[in-house]
Amino acid sequence: MEQVLRSIYQERASDPTTLGVLLVEKREEEDPNTDTFDAILLIITADETTPIYTKHYMSDAGNAAMHVISDSQLKKWLVVGSKRKVVEWLFNGTVYFDRNEYVENMKRELIEYPYYGQKIKMGLELSRLVRAYIEGKTFYEKENYLDAYNHVVNSLHHLARLAVIEKGLFPEVKVWNQVKRIDPAIYKLYEELIMSEEPLKQRLELLFLASEFFIYNRTADGAQHILEVMVTQELWEIQELHEHEELKLYSVELEVFIEFLIKKGFIGVVESPSKNSLIYHRMYKVI
């Protein structure tokens, strides 16, 4: 497949805006790591005109997908954690072009894990964990146990990623292999949920109690990022929080996360007069 794609990546490498070219070939039939393609050609560019550009190719050698990703888009994915396969591509792909060691430096940064990135990632994972936990608990209380189970599995996955990030590591796609080594207690919790022969209701009840403990112990560290942003201003309207460049990353979890932190005593609510004397604006501040 490399020979078929050679002319394409050579052309891309000659472009002065290209930072890196990697080729990822599938390791097994129907490999999800390559989206079932025979190969993925990853091009990283400094050109921000089109953050994501994709093309599909076919030949006698097989099918391939080319992804041209801007530097800023790649870094956003790495912070948000929404494209975990990209990390695998960076570490397992064959590097065919690397301008000024861009790819090697990127991999080194991921391994060394800068602290500012750690705080943002912890905040994002905690906010996702909180939402999944709350939604799962709601389904459980309504006796919708299968829906509750789905949300608990999701919440445990975010808890696992949070535990890995706490250790200063980057969560791999096979995150449970990491957690088994790093935090056996969380891994045991996951095993209890999916392998126990206890009735589903009892398994869920146990998991919700344990999850409360794990969330409580991680709230202060996981909330550090959002609190550091909010402390830069005395009072915030919710729209201001949504529009803040870093807090945009929390997306749909932002308001649920803020309400959670209010209940936990990290954020306070302040009444502010509005044009209508019968109603007030709801403002937020760090306590």
Structural domains of the chain, ranges and CATH numbers in brackets: 2-110 (3.30.460.10), 113-220 (1.20.120.330), 223-287 (1.10.10.10)
pTM (two decimals): 0.75
Residue 234 neighbours by CB distance under 10 Å: 10
Q: Could you tell me whether strands 39-45 and 62-70 are parallel, antiparallel, or unpaired per DSSP bridges? A: parallel
Lookup: tokens for 169: 């590591």
Category of 189 on φ-ψ map: left (φ > 0), alpha (ψ -120 to 50) or beta? alpha
Greatest alpha-carbon span in the chain? 73
Average pLDDT, the chain: 91
All residues at 6 or more sequence positions from 137 whose CB lies less than 8 Å from its CB, including other chains: 148, 208
Contact 139, 131 (CB under 8 A): no
pLDDT, one tens digit for every residue, the chain (287 residues): 778 888 888 998 999 999 999 999 988 776 778 888 999 999 999 999 999 999 999 998 889 999 999 999 998 888 776 677 888 899 889 999 999 999 999 888 877 754 557 888 899 999 999 999 999 999 999 999 999 999 999 999 999 999 998 888 877 767 899 999 999 999 999 999 999 999 999 999 999 999 999 999 999 999 999 999 999 999 999 999 999 988 988 989 999 999 999 999 999 999 998 888 889 999 999 99
CA distances from 115 to 10, 87, 122, 225 (A): 36, 18, 10, 11
Lookup: tokens for 247: 């807090």
